Structure 1
């Protein structure tokens, strides 16, 4: 199967032939690996970003990225979305409002988003701290008690990870139950897919919180703040910048969410 066909029919993973070695014995087997391909996001004919991502749920990924990066204020500014397979990767053509496009051109940057994206795409140190939204969602104390159960449900919902062991997951929790979950090779991509789905289906961010299988890094804080999400719970450690940004935005950050406990950093 060629690359274009793999992406067109993607479930997020694909089969590869491997040699499994144990005690100096080699066994030929098939295995599954998580897919990672370039996805170009194009707005009104201008390419803005090329993200390395898992080519599943591409439509909600593009919508979530557009919202969490502040390109769109709402999906009402997205007039059309078309996904095209090419020999080099996937191209998502989006037609957006004049307001959004003019703002995008003023802040336009060309970047390649890697799995650990770092500070790709910003032009100065000041940009890192500019326009960090203040969160107005009020976090219920009940949500904190729901974190352990929500985390315990992640594994059984992660189909790509069950097949490959190589994907991150982002899930939305309401009334203690996971109501939506998306996976990707990149943690920020998984979150964008979830955010795009929530916006598309008009989920009220005041009714729940996000749980993730990754560490808590600064870009996850910014994306949650952009959509006014009040609580982020991650299974691994936070970074110092994530804690600082969570404090500045008013986001409650829980990390090391494992078993019956977690650490609340903000």
Structure 2
């Protein structure tokens, strides 16, 4: 399915002039995720790189440990969106059933349906990897990121998640209307391709929310860089796990959180 579509608009000007115009917009649709026959979540996402999305989503939900735990992914068109059917190895089915039991509804953030605080803020592992990325390399990656965002160049409406090497080169990028989805797709692509962080970082065109921190920690990421500001809970969760954070990462300035891992 195409991740972008043309739509018709009327261009307005300060002088009161109007003219018809066609613009390419990012496709956003509900994607219902079924895992081993169980309805798990409904995500609002861009229908691209769905195999990577399935891998990264299952990893972030702690349903799988490795790419080999996912046996099959298939997408099926429905009346209003897509159904993404995922099959995991039998040894992982109990994790799915346990997680489903703690949901009373589904949401795009994956938390509104969690029925207790312990499930919402589960303990995180410690980050043991370290990044040797110099400040100059970080800004070099920021400067080049736009070259790797073809969907955003078309639409101006999607987030990107990038895997960057320690020298600032960009190795993999995934895009989506949702910042969480873009990161899931990137982690999935890394799992599928056998890529490691190798002293680099994850670079996200998003604010630093606690969900993104948790995804980074679970993916073993040594350095999370976001172009917008962090929330208090993101800072707290990163400190707990020893994840190094750089936020408000822009060419004019960037903030590194104190007390994070190095």
Shared fold by TM > 0.5? yes
In the aligned structure 1, how far is the partner of 2:70 from the partner of 2:159? 27
In the aligned structure 1, how far is the partner of 2:139 from the partner of 2:80? 42
In the aligned structure 2, how far is the partner of 1:217 from the partner of 1:61? 19
CA contact (8 A) 2:41 2:110 kept: no
Gaps of 5+ in 2: none
Kindly tell me the number of residue pairs found equivalent between the two proteins. 254
Instruction: Give the deviation of 1:247 after TM superposition.
Output: 0.3
1:84 equivalent to 2:76? Answer yes
Instruction: Give the deviation of 1:244 after TM superposition.
Output: 0.4
1:113 equivalent to 2:104? Answer no
In the aligned structure 2, how far is the partner of 1:110 from the partner of 1:223? 22
Instruction: Give the deviation of 1:143 after TM superposition.
Output: 4.2
1:60 matched residue in structure 2: 52
Given candidates 242, 252, 255, the residue that maps to 2:244 is 252
Deviation per residue, 1:228-264 (Å, 9 max, x gap): 1110001110000100000011110100111154110
CA 1:86–1:118: 2 relative to 1, 3 Å: closer
Given candidates 221, 230, 239, the residue that maps to 2:231 is 239
State the Cα RMSD in Å.
1.5
Instruction: Give the deviation of 1:121 after TM superposition.
Output: 3.0
CA contact (8 A) 2:73 2:84 kept: yes
Task: Give the structure-2-normalised TM-score.
Answer: 0.92
In the aligned structure 1, how far is the partner of 2:6 from the partner of 2:105? 30
In the aligned structure 1, how far is the partner of 2:62 from the partner of 2:155? 32
- Counterparts of residues 124-163 of structure 1 (less than 5 Å): 124-140=116-132, 142-163=133-154
